């Protein structure tokens, strides 16, 4: 006797997307450049301003520019993870990094992680735009799923994920050991069906008309993306929120490594 079991929806015409390349991306407020040793001096100077950006990362801080340059050459110059430096338009300086990782064309899945924004970049529109540029490129290439993972204790990163319109998918308990400590990992994602609405939300928020003469946002991004969420993070529904809001509506985001394992 044959039993008919449920199957996923067929995907007629779908084919694996290409891997992202190392081309630069430019927006209103920042430019993403393939990370290289040439960025080490500016990045190290900016990173010295706030040591807390390394709290949830499995590497760093680096004692000097040379050590950071060596790390870039050794660990951050490959195709996966694919690192970018964030060059802010106003200052012209490289002030942060982020990457694609866990790139899986066969599944149509890709992750954004290794987000490490220095103090001068935090709470700036350029920080938000940097993430949305990578999200946009991923879906433009044909990826079906965009992931964001973080230490479950990193409340700021969890708020940032939800603010970008990435839906909560749960927590993997005891997922990693980072710097000798347990890490539970919170998962968030967006899928391709949600991209048109997310794209419209990002464009509305990033439009210079959404900022007043003092640079303050008029409509918060979270207000634009909230209706798109398939599920909200229950951890954000309780506890104090004071101090997490910022000039551009973006939560404070100490550097985060949204990855399960580099091995």
Per-residue pLDDT, averaged over 104-133, amounts to 97
Instruction: Tokens 């996923």: give the residue.
Output: 8
CA distance 122 to 256: 13
Tell me: pLDDT of 240 over 50.
no
- Each residue's pLDDT tens digit, 77-110: 999 999 999 999 999 999 999 999 999 999 999 9
- Each residue's pLDDT tens digit, 188-204: 999 999 999 999 999 99
Tell me: pLDDT of 163 over 70.
yes
Tell me: pLDDT of 244 over 60.
no
Q: Is residue 8 part of a domain?
A: no
Q: Is the pLDDT higher at 71 or at 253? A: 71
For 118-166, list the strands marked E by DSSP.
145-151
Q: Is residue 13 part of a domain?
A: no
Please enumerate, as own/partner, the contacts of 6-9 that have beta carbons within 8 Å and a separation of 24 or more: none
- Alpha carbon 112 to its chain's center: 5
**Which CATH number is 163's domain given?**
3.40.630.30
- Each residue's pLDDT tens digit, 24-53: 999 999 999 999 999 999 999 999 999 999
Q: Is the pLDDT higher at 120 or at 261? A: 120
Contacts of 243 by beta carbon, 8 Å cutoff, 6+ apart: 252
Q: Is residue 253 part of a domain?
A: no
Tell me: pLDDT of 243 over 60.
no
Provide DSSP, 76-95: SSSSSSEEEEEEETTT--EE
Q: Is residue 11 part of a domain?
A: no
Contacts of 116 by beta carbon, 8 Å cutoff, 6+ apart: 47, 53, 54, 57, 60, 96, 97, 98, 255, 256, 257
pTM beyond 0.85: the answer is: yes
Instruction: Tokens 């190290």: give the residue.
Output: 44
User: Strand pairing of 25-26 and 82-88?
Assistant: unpaired
Question: Which bin fits 179, alpha (ψ -120 to 50), beta or left (φ > 0)?
Answer: left
Length of the chain: 263
Q: Is residue 167 part of a domain?
A: yes
CA torsion, ordered 150, 62, 25, 139, to nearest 10 deg: -20
Task: Label residue 239 by pLDDT band (50, 70, 90).
Answer: low
Tell me: pLDDT of 247 over 80.
no
Can you give the pLDDT at residue 237? 85
Q: Is residue 72 part of a domain?
A: yes
Per-residue pLDDT, averaged over 69-82, amounts to 97
Q: Is residue 45 part of a domain?
A: yes
Taking CA atoms, 210 is separated from 19, 131, 202, 244, in Å, by 33, 18, 11, 21
Counted domains in the chain: 1
**What average pLDDT is seen over the chain?**
91
Tell me: pLDDT of 64 over 50.
yes
Q: Is residue 209 part of a domain?
A: yes
């Amino acid at each position: 006797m044959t039993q008919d079991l449920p199957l996923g929806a067929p995907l007629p015409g779908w084919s694996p997307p290409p891997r992202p390349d190392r081309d630069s991306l430019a927006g209103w407020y920042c430019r993403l450049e393939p990370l290289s040793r040439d960025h080490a001096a500016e990045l190290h100077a900016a990173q010295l301003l706030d040591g807390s950006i390394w709290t949830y990362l499995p590497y760093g801080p680096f004692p000097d520019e040379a050590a950071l340059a060596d790390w870039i050459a050794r660990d951050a110059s490959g195709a996966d993870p694919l690192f970018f430096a964030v060059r802010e338009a106003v200052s012209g300086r490289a002030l942060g990094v982020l990457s694609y990782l866990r790139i899986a064309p066969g599944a149509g899945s890709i992750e954004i992680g290794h987000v490490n924004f220095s103090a001068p970049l935090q709470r700036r529109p350029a920080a938000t735009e940097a993430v949305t540029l990578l999200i946009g490129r991923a879906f433009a290439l044909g990826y079906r799923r965009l992931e964001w993972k973080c230490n479950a204790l990193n409340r700021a990163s969890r708020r940032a994920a939800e603010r970008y319109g990435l839906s909560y998918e749960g927590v993997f308990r005891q997922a990693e050991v980072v710097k000798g400590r347990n890490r539970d990992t919170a998962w968030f994602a967006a899928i391709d069906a949600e991209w048109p609405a997310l794209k419209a939300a990002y464009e509305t928020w990033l439009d210079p008309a959404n900022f007043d003469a003092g640079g303050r946002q008029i409509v918060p991004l979270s207000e634009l993306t909230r209706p798109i969420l398939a599920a909200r993070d229950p951890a954000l529904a309780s506890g104090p929120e004071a101090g997490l809001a910022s000039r551009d509506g973006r939560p404070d985001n100490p550097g985060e490594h949204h990855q399960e394992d580099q091995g």
